């Protein structure tokens, strides 16, 4: 038999523990008893379950229609039998006939109630999570790392009492978290139903970078500066296009902050990801020139009838334009939301690519001894030995020697100050960029466990490097990957990434 008092006590306990409405639990119990009756007696029978919380009782009634002649005794009752219960019944009325529970039915009812309650509880919990977190969708939230799933491909997080999964593809490459560590995550979506986690979180989406900038830069929060586009290679580099709605406010300076405090706070949250702030320009040609910096642009040609753009750059800067593993090219392509084909000047002529000379370098400048000398000098290692990427030599042999790196990149701040005093042609932006390049190389050096020997003719006696030499080495380092004249087809998926769509007006 069903003990009503015990059942009611269980109802209160479930509602309190699971933080769901008592009515949800009561409804689950009623549905469970109805299901048990249908399975035990008749699938077409009509029953009503009544729970009296005050008296602590649970009763079930069979609902029978009063008829003159009974054809289905599970659904109908004769007028004569109905009058035995109450003389006032007439044809068409519904009679409630109490069902008395047997031991076998009680066991079946308990099983059905348990199953229905589990479904109701899960549904109520999902509804609670949705109502609680829907307003946090597209925001940054702190999360506590509670562990890893059994497959080892997702961190388990606790976000204000709700569980979320941070999948490894949503983690910045190289990041590792410890149990009980508090991290920031971007809530991409709060779903009403999901078999894994209702709260979808990420640390790799461009929107995460956007919200970090909003958090750190008051001018963005109050609308004086607007983020127009973001392109990101998580953990490596990002480009952010911004514009100011107040002519008195410099968007780049405001975002970087005094002593780079604001941008450094953002970088710290992104595993020291490099962030380039670029001024937005409605004119796409000028905007492309901005995004390609420091590479000089010879020509920009919008291919008729397509979404493609041909960009021609100096021969000596092709590798820099494409970047290591194509990073630089993808960043530009995602920022302008177009497919780009990058050609060297010689290749453009060979393939009959239109050269419009609408970039930021003229033919005179391109062929000037000063430009050629400066670009070629940057491609030489320290010992002034030409760096040829097609020679039979290890790819990584130029920047893997810890002793060399440590001897020559100490006290960078003091070195940069002296560089600025000695080289009047170097402006502040270039110095800051140089400093970032040095930091990036040092970070890569710390991660590298393998050291390669330098060639014997490299001289280690000089304790410090001059500015041009440092820039040459940085350029050589970036050029370690093989040149590519055009972004190949495997990069197409970058242009279909919906995570970038919201940034383009």
Gap between the Cα atoms of 12 and 78, Å rounded: 41
The string of DSSP codes covering 213-261 is HHHH-HHHHTTSEEEEEEEEETTTEEEEEEEESSTTS-HHHHHH-GGGH
Tell me what the mean pLDDT of segment 239-259 comes to: 94
Helices (H), 58-180: 79-85, 103-133
Bridge-partner residues for 276, per DSSP? Answer: 239
Confidence band (pLDDT; 50, 70, 90) for 262?
very high
Residues of the chain with CATH 2.40.50.140: 137-204
Longest dimension (CA), the chain: 116
Residues of the chain with CATH 3.30.300.20: 214-280
Confidence band (pLDDT; 50, 70, 90) for 300?
very high
Identity of the highest mean pLDDT range in 3-7, 222-226, 437-441, 443-447? 222-226
Tell me what the mean pLDDT of segment 376-390 comes to: 43
Return the DSSP state at 399: S
- In 3D space, the residue among 202, 252, 204, 263 whose CA is nearest the CA of residue 227 turns out to be 252
CATH code for residues 137-204: 2.40.50.140
Tell me what the mean pLDDT of segment 45-67 comes to: 83
The answer for residues whose C-beta is within 8 angstroms of residue 212's C-beta and 6 or more apart is: 140, 184, 266, 269, 270
Which pLDDT belongs to residue 474?
Answer: 52
Residue 303 has pLDDT above 80, yes or no: yes
Gap between the Cα atoms of 333 and 339, Å rounded: 6
CB-based burial, 401-428: b 16+ in 10 Å, e otherwise: beebbeebbeeeeebbeebeeeeeebee
CATH architecture type of domain 4-133: 2-Layer Sandwich (3.30)
Which pLDDT belongs to residue 219?
Answer: 96
Higher local confidence (pLDDT), 48 or 413: 48
Tell me what the mean pLDDT of segment 433-449 comes to: 53
> Is the bond into 347 cis (omega within 30 degrees of 0)?
no
Gap between the Cα atoms of 95 and 103, Å rounded: 25
Q: Residues 378, 393: contact at Cβ < 8 Å?
A: no
Q: Residues 251, 281: contact at Cβ < 8 Å?
A: no
Which pLDDT belongs to residue 479?
Answer: 52
Phi/psi for 176 (5° steps) reads: -140, 135
CATH code for residues 214-280: 3.30.300.20
Phi/psi for 203 (5° steps) reads: -120, 5
- In 3D space, the residue among 199, 29, 23 whose CA is nearest the CA of residue 124 turns out to be 23
Min mean pLDDT across 261-265, 372-376, 483-487 is at 483-487
The answer for residues whose C-beta is within 8 angstroms of residue 81's C-beta and 6 or more apart is: none
Gap between the Cα atoms of 199 and 160, Å rounded: 12
Q: What is the pTM of this model?
A: 0.64
Q: ∠ at Cα 408 (403, 410), nearest 5°?
A: 100
Bridge-partner residues for 243, per DSSP? Answer: 226
pLDDT digit string, tens, across residues 137-177: 999 999 999 999 988 899 999 999 899 999 999 999 999 99
> Is the bond into 309 cis (omega within 30 degrees of 0)?
no
Gap between the Cα atoms of 340 and 400, Å rounded: 33
């Amino acid at each position: 038999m069903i003990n009503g008092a015990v059942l009611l006590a269980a109802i209160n306990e479930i509602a309190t523990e699971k933080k769901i409405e008592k009515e949800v639990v009561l409804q689950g119990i009623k549905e469970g008893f109805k299901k048990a009756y249908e399975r035990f007696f008749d699938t077409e029978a009509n029953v009503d379950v009544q729970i009296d919380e005050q008296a602590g009782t649970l009763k079930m009634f069979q609902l029978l229609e009063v008829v003159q002649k009974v054809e289905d005794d599970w659904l109908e009752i004769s007028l004569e039998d109905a009058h035995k219960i109450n003389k006032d019944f007439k044809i068409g009325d519904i009679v409630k006939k109490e069902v008395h529970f047997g031991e076998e039915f009680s066991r079946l009812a308990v099983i059905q109630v348990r199953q229905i309650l589990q479904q109701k509880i899960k549904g109520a919990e999902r509804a609670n999570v949705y109502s609680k977190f829907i307003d946090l969708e597209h925001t940054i939230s702190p999360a506590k790392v509670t562990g890893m799933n059994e497959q080892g491909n997702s961190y388990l997080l606790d976000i204000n009492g709700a569980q979320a999964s941070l999948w490894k593809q949503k983690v910045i490459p190289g990041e590792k978290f410890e149990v009980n560590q508090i991290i920031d995550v971007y809530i991409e979506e709060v779903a009403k139903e999901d078999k894994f986690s209702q709260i979808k979180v990420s640390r790799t989406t461009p929107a995460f970078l956007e919200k970090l900038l909003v958090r750190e830069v008051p001018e963005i929060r109050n609308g004086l500066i607007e983020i127009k586009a973001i392109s990101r290679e998580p953990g490596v580099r990002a480009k952010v296009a911004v514009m100011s709605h107040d002519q008195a406010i410099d968007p780049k300076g405001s975002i970087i902050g005094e002593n780079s405090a604001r941008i450094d706070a953002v970088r710290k949250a992104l595993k020291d990801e490099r962030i380039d702030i670029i001024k937005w320009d409605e004119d796409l040609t000028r905007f492309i020139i901005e995004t390609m910096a420091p590479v000089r642009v010879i020509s920009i040609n919008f291919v008729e009838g397509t979404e493609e753009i041909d960009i021609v750059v100096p021969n000596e800067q092709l590798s820099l334009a494409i970047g290591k593993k194509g990073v630089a090219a993808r960043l530009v392509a995602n920022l302008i939301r177009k497919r780009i084909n990058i050609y060297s000047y010689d290749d453009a002529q060979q393939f009959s690519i239109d050269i419009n000379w609408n970039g930021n370098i003229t033919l005179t400048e391109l062929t000037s001894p000063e430009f050629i000398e400066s670009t070629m000098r940057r491609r030489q290692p320290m010992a002034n030995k030409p760096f040829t990427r097609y020679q039979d030599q290890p790819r990584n042999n130029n920047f893997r020697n810890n002793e060399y790196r440590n001897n020559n990149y100490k006290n960078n701040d003091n070195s940069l100050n002296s560089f600025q005093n000695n080289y009047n042609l170097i402006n502040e932006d270039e110095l800051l960029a140089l400093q970032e390049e040095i930091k990036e190389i040092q970070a890569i050096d710390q991660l590298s466990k393998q050291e390669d020997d330098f060639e014997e003719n490299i001289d280690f006696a000089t304790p410090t490097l001059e500015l041009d030499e440092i820039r040459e080495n940085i350029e050589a380092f970036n050029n370690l990957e093989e040149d590519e004249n055009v972004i190949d087809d495997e990069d197409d998926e970058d242009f279909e990434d919906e995570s970038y769509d919201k940034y383009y007006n």
